[in-house]
Chains A and B, each alone.
Chain A
């Protein structure tokens, strides 16, 4: 069955370091992958989309990679700040041509000052 895996344990890092979050998937052949940020008591907010033919995408301090061979996406936040503390979710388009993405459960990031 199709599965999306994100580390359920929180990632704790020091301010100024690079945070790297992982999204692994099995039994998918997604055409694209999205990353969202979710703060407590709020809805997810879209951050970045990367297509299967793109290796890397950047937006300010954010970088996403997409390795369709490893079936993995990495989400990096450089020069992390306490304000980056949140839960980050990856979402993949399901097979079959549906436009509704399937979400992973997210990984909590805590940036310590």
Chain B
């Protein structure tokens, strides 16, 4: 069983469109995350979410929004896609305690035409 799964694996779309990426975890973790990995391979946190709080990286444009229907799911909605949004987006989960490892999905490669 896949611990953290995200769909789709590839997403090719036009500039200006709105798209969503879905993520599910079956590890029973209380916190989920979205990361962006750019062409230089830096993995940067975008959002951290549990049922108590949403932590947003202040550099993330408000065109990006996380939506959590329940504890096991955290979807990422992106409005008005721009060329600079092209990257690999990773979902992850963990327990919300210091030093707990992150468990990652296999990423969604987003390409904007």
Contact = CB atoms under 8 A, between A and B. Distances in A.
A31 B43 contact: no
Contacts of B97: 99
B52 interface: no
Contact of A101 (B90, B96, B102, B105): B102
Contacts of A42: 106-107
A51 B99 contact: yes
Interface in B64-100: 90, 92, 94, 96-100
Nearest to A32: B99
Interface string A78-111: 0000000001010101000111111101100000
Interface residues of B, number: 26
Contacts of B4: 43
Contact of A43 (B44, B92, B96): B92
A43 B42 contact: no
B41 A100 contact: no
A97 B96 CA distance: 11
A113 interface: no
A16 interface: no
Residue among A31, A36, A49, A103 with the highest chain B CB neighbour number at 10 A: A103
Nearest to B43: A103
Contact of B104 (A44, A51, A98, A102): A44
B45 interface: yes
Interface string A43-57: 111100101000000
7 contacts: A43-B4, A43-B106, A44-B43, A49-B101, A99-B31, A102-B45, A103-B42
Interface of A: 31-32, 34, 36, 41-46, 49, 51, 87, 89, 91, 93, 97-103, 105-106
Interface of B: 4, 31, 33, 40-45, 48, 55, 90, 92, 94, 96-107
